[in-house]
Structure 1
Amino acid sequence: MKKAIAYALVSLLTVTSLAACGSNNGSDNNGASNNAGGSAATNNAASGNDSAAANDGATASDGADADISGKVVFLTNRTDMVDKEYKDYEKRFEEKYPKVDLQFEAITDYDKNEKIRIASGSFPDVVLLSTLIPNSDFPKYFAPLDDIKFDGDIYFKDFKSFDGKSYGISSGNSTVGIVYNKQAFEKAGITAVPKTYDEFLAACQKLKDAGIVPLASNFKDKWPLGAWYNDVTAIISGKADTSNNRKDSDTPFTLDNTYGKSFSILKELYTKGFLEKDVNSTNWEQSKKDVAQGKFGMYLLGNWVINQVVDAGAKSEDVGFFPFPADNSGQAKAPLNPDWFYGVNKDGNVAASKAFIKWMIEESGYDDFAGFIPTLKSKEPKLAQLNEFNGYNPTFVEALPTDDTALSIQNKAQIDMDGLVQEFVLAKDPQKVFDKVNGQWAKARKEIVK
């Protein structure tokens, strides 16, 4: 397994960035990929940088021998881990660093709310780097992390860098494909996973005919739609530059480019009745239960959702994972993305924060809990479904750092990419939707690109 992932990472083409990371909440996502959803109450505790002494230049490189002390607050998107896994993390970290008071603050709509907090000048010690902040702005708010000495090489080390310094450490990594319920496939008479788009549509029809919702889109929740502008575009083109290339055009959204092709796939699935019956009333938490129970057949998401489906009641052996066939070539492709990146408030408890990040990467077990490809290259992923995924021999397309110019235009234009996907899918005339956002983009680009 480790060899399969390592080979994929070494022989990669280049890819779309998580817009989130978009995985990006999924950020522009992705991130995804990167929001676990959840409905736990938000803890609004203040950051509390109690230990000025801890910000005296000590680093996490010395491990437990360093004079690490004071309060550390981690602002997280994992609202579902509050009073659960985070309690265990707190106990174990404080056993290693008894002078530290570790606290967790969980929020929803992470990108937007974190950006507001940062703009106000008051934010916790450890955060997940907002995808809305260009790399060139990192030195204004965050401390360089190059002095953290990990037990080996890490993936995406320079992804969140500026002027030769790294400001972010990936919390984990993922690919995006079809997570599916094997029992639902069996009930629908699907004997082999689809390897072409036509086969995928045929599988969807069989699921629908069997009374199973083929694909959980989580349309209303918006952030899961990030896969359609971050990841499917990479699968279609085999490149990661779709988002960055927008800076060179006044009309980056067209029906015949990768955005149009990707969004049109989702529109076709919607038109054929392969998504939820009422896409405007979907629910993220409920969808995990529905996939686990076989009421829904598939997700188009990252491997990080697999453990959540299992936690929702599915047997691990009943959950599978295969590359999404976005065309009829029969050649499997898949993005390879970092998830959210840890960053450290330069005015916070820097030394203890770096110790916490090192501990999260090396000792917490968060990557296994989240179903990630570990950040440490030497660590073998434990998610069994990644073996199945690699068995289809996909060509991996590795994420590229976000281009600051493209991001600045995006922010100036105030284009809600998730909302754009929604509008396109529901529109009688998708071209008019693209005309509108292209107008916003061109106006903003004129102001940014001189």
Structure 2
Amino acid sequence: MRSMIAAALALGLVLGGATGCGSDDAGGDGKIGGEITVLTQRTDIVNTVFQDYKKKFEAKYPGTTVKFEAITDYEGDVRVRMNTKNYGDVLLIPNSVTDDQLKSFFEPLGTVDALKDKYRFVTNEKTFDGKVYGLSITGNAQGYVLNKKVWTQAGITEPPKSPEEFLAALKAIKDKTGAIPLYTNYKEAWPLGQWEGVRGAVSGDPDAVTKLAEDDAPWAAGKEHYIIDSLLYDAVKGGYTEPDPTTTNWEQSKGLLGTGKIATMMLGSWSIVQMQQAAASKDDIAYWPFPHQTNGKFYSVIGGDYKNAINVNSKNKATARAWIDWFTDESNYATDQGGVSTLKSAAMPSTLADLTAAKTELIELNPAPKGKEGLADKIGNSAEIALFDGKYRQVIVDAARGAKNESKDQLFADLNKKWAAARAKLK
């Protein structure tokens, strides 16, 4: 299982038109009772953890029945089902649903103003015209997961504060431990897209994505994307990544990091629990902020994962809403899975103890100005530099390892040229 952020971003939703229009109140005056179907991507825990949720919810609301449908290819299968009205009562909003499509398929849960004081990730995620259409099942911080035991063996016990310190640490790991210092998971591509998650963390700027959409040269020296992608390039160039990136294997890599054969992977914090499950001891696994400080401080961007939402065609919206509220407020799913709770009142999970110890400031990105929602991603898609799918970073890896005859300067100049051209068409 991987997170919503890790899933490959679809370029468009293949839907046969709107299936309905939402009201302003999910559930309205309806009575909580009867049966609902809840779609989930958690095929690994639907028959265990989710059955416990079912018992607790049905006990709180006598007369209700919760049925789960666990879907392996969640994005693909649900996208097809949304051509009909039959896509459950509660479901996770597919990544490929654009904000302007939300009202056609999902019931609004309330306004941003009404929900923002209680919940994280509602000011700029799956919202439209001031209405919230989904509540995150969990949240992720952005940085890198590491086998702390290996890093300690190499003599590094604190997070590197700069790319230069990080590269020096990778060299020490290679020289002293024999572990692969940094694993890119190149073959699958999507893990390379995880590097995009640290935009905003490098600058400590909540408006980083808005400014990215206004910039003709994001890969100019000193800017966020230059710093992020230079670190990737330099790590590969220095020989600190896997010997043959074309043979990487995601599932195997979790065990390799857990057992110390890999030291580091640049992934969202959703990965921590999966790495701990593969480790001899949970204490071997830590999570550190991206190696860059602004004004002497580390930053990490936190954002929501998949969002629970109500099918606008549901015949039982009151119970569907009760489930979403219970799941968000009472199930403890986010914290149990090592994530940042959607509830602002909840404490940070123990999995982020090392991030907290480094005095990392957690920031949420601000929403884009009206009319410019998703503009950076649209520019990237138009320029064939899809920011989250990892493919353009495969090119960076290829250039750094000598499989592509292009220097870093040439590579970044080409990226800037393509970006500026696409931006001129879209701005």
TM-score tier after normalising by the smaller chain length: 0.7 to 0.9
**Residue among 62, 78, 88 paired with 1:124:** 88
Deviations 1:58-104 (A, max 9, x none): 73999xxx43322313142x343343323333344344444324212
User: Quick one: distance in 2 between partners of 1:263 and 1:445?
Assistant: 20
User: Quick one: distance in 1 between partners of 2:243 and 2:303?
Assistant: 31
Q: Does residue 264 of the first structure (1) align with residue 234 of the second (2)?
A: no
- Counterpart of 2:121? 156
**Residue among 370, 392, 397 paired with 2:358:** 392
Deviations 1:177-226 (A, max 9, x none): 23222221233333444333322222211211221111232222222223
User: Quick one: distance in 2 between partners of 1:370 and 1:397?
Assistant: 21
Q: Does residue 281 of the first structure (1) align with residue 247 of the second (2)?
A: yes
Give the secondary structure class of the aligned counterpart of 1:302. Answer: coil
- Counterpart of 2:20? none
- Counterpart of 2:45? 81
- TM-score using structure 2 length: 0.79
* One-letter code aligned to 1:340: Y
Q: Is the 8 A contact 1:61 1:147 kept in 2?
A: no
* One-letter code aligned to 2:135: I
Q: Does residue 59 of the first structure (1) align with residue 27 of the second (2)?
A: yes
Deviations 1:145-183 (A, max 9, x none): 028999x81112332322222112122223222322222
Deviations 1:39-71 (A, max 9, x none): xxxxxxxxxxxxxxxx99773999xxx433223
Cα shift at 1:419: 0.7
User: Quick one: distance in 1 between partners of 2:207 and 2:111?
Assistant: 30
- Counterpart of 2:105? 141
- Counterpart of 1:234? 200
Give the secondary structure class of the aligned counterpart of 2:201. Answer: helix
User: Quick one: distance in 2 between partners of 1:216 and 1:355?
Assistant: 42
Q: Could you say if the C-alpha distance between residues 437 and 350 of structure 1 is closer, same or farther in structure 2, counting changes exceeding 3 Å? A: farther
- Counterpart of 1:36? none
Give the secondary structure class of the aligned counterpart of 2:251. Answer: helix
Structure-to-structure mapping, 1:108-257, within 5 angstroms: 108=73, 110=75, 114-118=78-82, 123-146=87-110, 153-159=118-124, 160-209=126-175, 210-231=177-198, 233-248=199-214, 257=223
Q: Does residue 365 of the first structure (1) align with residue 335 of the second (2)?
A: no
User: Quick one: distance in 1 between partners of 2:300 and 2:337?
Assistant: 19
Q: Is the 8 A contact 1:303 1:372 kept in 2?
A: yes
User: Quick one: distance in 1 between partners of 2:71 and 2:9?
Assistant: 16
How many residue pairs were aligned?
Answer: 397
Cα shift at 1:330: 5.2
Give unpaired runs (5+ residues) of structure 2: 11-22, 400-404
User: Quick one: distance in 2 between partners of 1:444 and 1:196?
Assistant: 32
* One-letter code aligned to 1:156: F
Deviations 1:369-412 (A, max 9, x none): 2211211122223x324233222222333223362444444555
Give the secondary structure class of the aligned counterpart of 2:120. Answer: coil
Q: Is the 8 A contact 1:293 1:314 kept in 2?
A: yes
Q: Could you say if the C-alpha distance between residues 223 and 237 of structure 1 is closer, same or farther in structure 2, counting changes exceeding 3 Å? A: same
User: Quick one: distance in 2 between partners of 1:406 and 1:199?
Assistant: 30
Q: Is the 8 A contact 1:58 1:67 kept in 2?
A: no
Deviations 1:389-447 (A, max 9, x none): 22222233322336244444455566433111111221332566667766765676566
- Counterpart of 1:304? 270
User: Quick one: distance in 2 between partners of 1:140 and 1:211?
Assistant: 54
Q: Is the 8 A contact 1:60 1:354 kept in 2?
A: no
Q: Could you say if the C-alpha distance between residues 253 and 139 of structure 1 is closer, same or farther in structure 2, counting changes exceeding 3 Å? A: farther
Give the secondary structure class of the aligned counterpart of 1:237. Answer: coil
- Counterpart of 1:318? 284
Q: Does residue 356 of the first structure (1) align with residue 356 of the second (2)?
A: no
* One-letter code aligned to 1:317: D
Structure 1 segments of 4 or more deviating over 6 A?
55-58, 147-150, 435-440
* One-letter code aligned to 2:335: D
Q: Could you say if the C-alpha distance between residues 69 and 439 of structure 1 is closer, same or farther in structure 2, counting changes exceeding 3 Å? A: farther
Q: Could you say if the C-alpha distance between residues 392 and 313 of structure 1 is closer, same or farther in structure 2, counting changes exceeding 3 Å? A: closer
- Counterpart of 2:65? 100
Deviations 1:2-31 (A, max 9, x none): xxxxxxxxxxxxxxxxxx986340659xxx
Give the secondary structure class of the aligned counterpart of 1:143. Answer: coil
Give the secondary structure class of the aligned counterpart of 2:263. Answer: strand
Identity %: 30
- Counterpart of 2:34? 69
RMSD (Å), alpha carbons = 3.6
Cα shift at 1:311: 1.7
